Amino acid sequence: MFRKKQNIGGYRFQKLATPDKNWRGYQEKNRIQDVRQQALRRIPWYFVALVIFVALIQGGFYFLDQRLSIPIDTQVSLYPPDVEPLDRSGLREILLSGNFNNLTEKDFEIVTDTGRYQFYTSIDTDLQNAIIRSLDTRHANRIGIVAIEPDTGRVLAMVSHNADDPDQNACLAADLPAASLFKIITAAAALDAGGFEYQSRMAYNGGKFTLYKRQLTDQKNRYTNYSSLKNAFAESINPIFGKLGKNVLGKDLLQDYAQSYYFNEAIEFDLPVERSVLEISDTPYNWAEIASGFNRTTTISPLHAAMISASMVNGGKLMKPAIVDVAAKDHKTVYRHRPEITARVVEPAVLESMKTLMSATITHGTARNLFAGYSKNPVLSRLEMGGKTGALNNNARQIRYDWFTGYASDPQGSGKIAIGVIVAHKDYIGKRAATYFRQAVSTYFKNRMNPTQESQRMDNVSGKNKKSPA
């Protein structure tokens, strides 16, 4: 702005002249600068507002998730003050009055003297019903199949057949020999405490599947065979594992590692589970029998076998198994499952070696024929799989115990699963345990890799779309 001088009545006045373009530019520049300064002063408040906004959005999604994880038609509240929550022992007591053998529905009710209880299970009904339909009961005295979600311990399938005792749940019984499944424990101990690696080379004489005292010596001659630990595990070579038990690990380490994997320990579950048993004497030859699984005194349940395989794809952690996601009394929540670690069994370095051993069982070991062609299968070829076979006759040689436990995971993120299977064949060998595993894995991942298509198919079959808890 500028001023123009003027004389009036002898006085000099200054008159404001009309602003020109320079003045307007100057004012506009000041205005822009003021706006910028005000914006800078408001930045902290903008940040606070943004944090509050994000928190509100996340809280809203969390609330919706909690609401949608419960069936809409049940209107279950979250631990209302007028209802006393159930602990696991109380839950187990109520469940004992029901029948969990071969559930075909995900949810059910039990009415007791104390009230009406609603149970929302973790069962994957597509997988469960597919396994039930696939059972070959004609040639089997007993079948037990358990599938677990490794990260949470949630039971996805639990299918039982017992010709001698239909009321017994074969998945929770631990009265059959573990056979070569125990080689998993021996291998973990050899890798972790015995100074072995999966490439370690060992010698043996005689047959692969026998275990004579003379096979436990270190003599070498022109008949001596050699194998890496990986191949010995994959091919289930008894003399090598017998020598590990007798000459390397001994009684104490075998006991310690078996206990860490929950042999002789109570498995906490929603239903009673028999303890898996390890009995070991002070006789060195018995250590060889135990380490190789060449005995009938070491026993295991299919649930426990599935837990052990689940640890291979869960960072070496055993999770507490569970089959009930939510329990309610008169549609008010009294119990909710929370994943819980039971034990950490192996370190990461050992875990990777164990997965190498278990993968070799499928690719070129005792299960290779039953998995023939899987690399060309559109579902199985995407998966990382591993497992262990086990086979043993009963004393009368009338029953052939056939085990398979293993895991499968999809590197592309569609999930993980671990499965334990026992089949007690009668006069003829029917469907093998590893075949049940392969079929179950294929069904599970086929559904997850094509969820929309499979969901529509199942809706058409069932004629309904029932909501269930997450």
What end-to-end distance do the CA atoms of the chain give, in Å? Answer: 73
57 with 161, same domain? no
DSSP 67: H
Pair (301, 391) in one structural domain: yes
Partners of residue 422 on adjacent β-strands: 144, 403
Residue 69 lies in a domain: no
Check residue 114 and give its pLDDT: 86
As a whole number of angstroms, the distance between CA 45 and CA 57 comes to: 18
Does some domain include residue 6?
A: no
Q: Is the pLDDT of residue 470 over 70?
A: no
The answer to whether residue 97 is domain-embedded is: no
CA distance 318 to 188: 14
402 and 298 share one domain:
yes
Same domain, 144 and 265: yes
- 358 and 276, same structural domain? yes
Q: For residue 16, what are its two tokens? A: 């404001």
Task: Give mean pLDDT, residues 429-439.
Answer: 97
CA dist., res. 169 & res. 183, Å (int): 25
- Number of folded domains in the chain? 2
Q: Is residue 210 part of a domain?
A: yes
| Residues 361 and 438 both lie in one domain | yes
Same domain, 350 and 440: yes
Average pLDDT in the 184-205 region?
A: 96
The model carries a pTM of 0.80
- Place 463 in a pLDDT band, splitting at 50, 70 and 90: very low
Dihedral over alpha carbons 151, 153, 154, 159 (to 10 degrees): 120
With respect to residue 441, please indicate whether it lies within any of the assigned structural domains: yes
C-beta of residue 332 within 8 angstroms of C-beta of residue 146: no
Query: CB within 8 A of 340, min separation 6: which ones?
Result: 153, 319, 320
Task: List the one residue out of 374, 369, 393, 370 whose CA is nearest residue 384.
Answer: 374
Q: What is the pLDDT of residue 407?
A: 98
Residue 243, in any domain of the structure: yes
Residue 26, domain extent: 20-62
Report d(CA 233, CA 84) in Å as an integer: 50
3-state class of 400 per DSSP? strand
Q: Are residues 365 and 224 in the same domain?
A: yes
Q: Angle 284-292/183-192 helices, nearest 10 degrees?
A: 110
Q: Which residue has the higher pLDDT, 274 or 14?
A: 274
Using the 8-state DSSP alphabet, how is residue 376 labeled?
G
**What pLDDT digit, counting tens, does each position of 261-270 carry?**
999 999 999 9
User: Which region among 28-37, 58-67, 287-296 has the lowest average model confidence (pLDDT)?
Assistant: 58-67
Task: Report the phi/psi class of residue 52: left, alpha or beta, with left for phi > 0 and alpha for psi in -120 to 50.
Answer: alpha
In a domain, 170, yes or no: yes
Kindly state whether residues 123 and 49 are assigned to the same domain.
no
Q: What is the pLDDT of residue 34?
A: 57
Residue 90 lies in a domain: no
pLDDT band at 45 (very low <50, low <70, confident <90, very high): low
- Please name which of 423, 407, 361, 341 lies closest in space to residue 149, comparing C-alpha atoms: 407
Distance (Å, whole) CA 467 – CA 470 = 9
